[in-house]
Amino acid sequence: MNALDSLNFSSLPESGVWNTTERAEYQEKSRFHRFTHFREGRQLHKAFYQTLIGKLDEVYQIGDVQRTDRIFRKICTNQGIGWSKSKTLTTETLQKIKTAFDKTLLYNGKGVQCREEYPPALRDACHYLFCMHDEVPEELVNGSNVRKILWRPDSAFSTAFRNELEGVMKSALEARQEAQYDSTLFAAFIHNIVGLLPFSYPQEGETIQIPVQKGENWEMATYTVDKKFALSPSWFSSPLPAYGLTSENGPPMLIFLGTTYPAGEGFAATLFSDFTPGLSVGHAPFLYGKEEIAEWLGGKENVSVSGISLGGALSLHAARYFPQVSEVYAFNPAGHYPWNGQKFGGKGPNIHIYSQKNDLVSTMGFFPEGENVEVYRVLGTEDEPFFKAHARSYFGADQVSLLKSSPEFENSRIERRILTGLHMIGSSIVFLLVLPFHLIFRLIQLIEGAISSCFCSEQDSEVLPQTT
């Protein structure tokens, strides 16, 4: 027997069993004794497990045994290591654990931090979204802002949000020059913000400052909103927008809106896009707008696509259809139905899929497979409930871990199959229940709009100056 206290991962023997003296003595006793003293065994197994976690925490310099425990459990699940603390720990199992850690744990440490002195109006709200703060800012939930989010759209509010996102990217780029963040982490952070830009509803012709990667370096580029696409008909609701961005100093970008807030443009369309009978999330609006997008993509190459949630699902649809797409960043996206799945060869786009722990949306549907498809599991400082895990971004948290998974493993998970089946059944029910009420509400809106337009036209004709 090898003493677990003397374990050194850098020089594992070829074979052997690892244990503690007390646990080994307990395991050698009769089955009857172990049955009648199960509490003692439970404590010994727990102490043995904690010693192993402590060794892993020390080797991989994580600095938090509870966090190491979370990472260990996730890695064992992803890599199919079926060891538990009550089982015998062999050198072969230890080697599997070490190999899994080396292969899976891409990054563990501080998230991307922004300078606190940058003073945009919505700084605290964005810092909450990026897990730099854990408390919802009071300014965001006052009566005026709640109305702008839930009922009455406000272009100044949207512009302020976009300015804040630009400020966060600028601040992160400045901080990177000092901190030298991990390249995978920083790219995810920037593209996550790019995926948030559609929620600020920019207009054609407006410019946005976005960092772009040039080799190993990043530099700021000025992008222009070249095209605003409508992914749903205007008679159904306010159109669901997507945006085409161009720059002289960076690749073209195609960014998709996710399920938005109630006052946001395309809110109803995004909800029905999540629950269209017979179609995976985002498939209906993509089919509606793909010809317009294809026309804009004509003559372009190396297009970068980003999206969050529904926007991430739309990004994966774009990767299937458009050969101009070279890179996709999809954050917490719903996958596709099995018949929409695709296996990309070596010439397919580089697809980066990020799924945060406890997010259910990205545990539904099936991801594309291929050698250029990478799936990352993202752990924040603490485990959060589903809604927060889906809405917030862990890339700016005090502690963030990036674990490499694979689309093949993700697609084989039983939870994914169950949630996908429930979505197939439930989407038809939700769609048919909500659609009549929405159409009535939309008809009233259109009638009110027509009456208001006629009334305003009559008033304008009455106040026109008379010519002499």
| The predicted structure's pLDDT at residue 121 | 47
DSSP structure string for 77-140: HHHT----TTS-EEHHHHHHHHHHHHHHEEEEE------TT---TTHHHHHHHTTS--SPPGGG
Give me the numbers of helices (H) and strands (E) for the chain, helices first please.
Answer: 15, 15
Residue of 438 and 309 predicted with greater confidence: 309
Residue whose pair of structure tokens reads 């699902």 in the numeric block:
313
Domain boundaries, the chain: 2-108, 110-422
Quote the CA–CA distance of 31 and 27 in Å, as a whole number. 9
Residue whose pair of structure tokens reads 């027997």 in the numeric block:
1
pLDDT at 54 over 90: yes
117-126, 167-176, 184-193, 343-352: which is most confident = 184-193
Plot region of 353 (φ>0 → left; ψ -120 to 50 → alpha; else → beta) = beta
| The predicted structure's pLDDT at residue 462 | 52
Residues 255-306: tens digit of each pLDDT:
999 999 988 999 999 999 999 999 999 999 999 999 999 999 999 999 999 9
Q: 189 CB contacts (<8 Å, ≥6 apart)?
A: 111, 112, 130, 172, 181, 393, 395, 396
Quote the CA–CA distance of 381 and 383 in Å, as a whole number. 7
Task: Measure Cα distances from 56 to 7, 105, 300 in Å.
Answer: 10, 12, 48
Residues 180-220: tens digit of each pLDDT:
788 999 999 999 999 999 999 999 999 999 999 988 889 99
Q: Express as a percent the part of the chain with pLDDT over 70.
A: 93
**Inter-helix orientation angle 65-79/38-59, to 10°:** 90
Q: Token pair for residue 124?
A: 């605290």
Q: Express as a percent the part of the chain with pLDDT over 90.
A: 57
Residue type at 328 in one-letter notation = V
- The helix (H) or strand (E) run that includes residue 52 is helix 38-59
User: The whole model's pTM is what?
Assistant: 0.89
- CATH level 3 topology of 110-422: Rossmann fold (3.40.50)
Task: Measure Cα distances from 395 to 68, 113, 145, 188, 364 in Å.
Answer: 18, 9, 26, 7, 22
Quote the CA–CA distance of 54 and 50 in Å, as a whole number. 6
Nearest alpha-carbon partner for 24 in 2, 7, 8: 2
Residues 14-49: tens digit of each pLDDT:
888 888 889 888 888 998 988 898 899 999 999 999
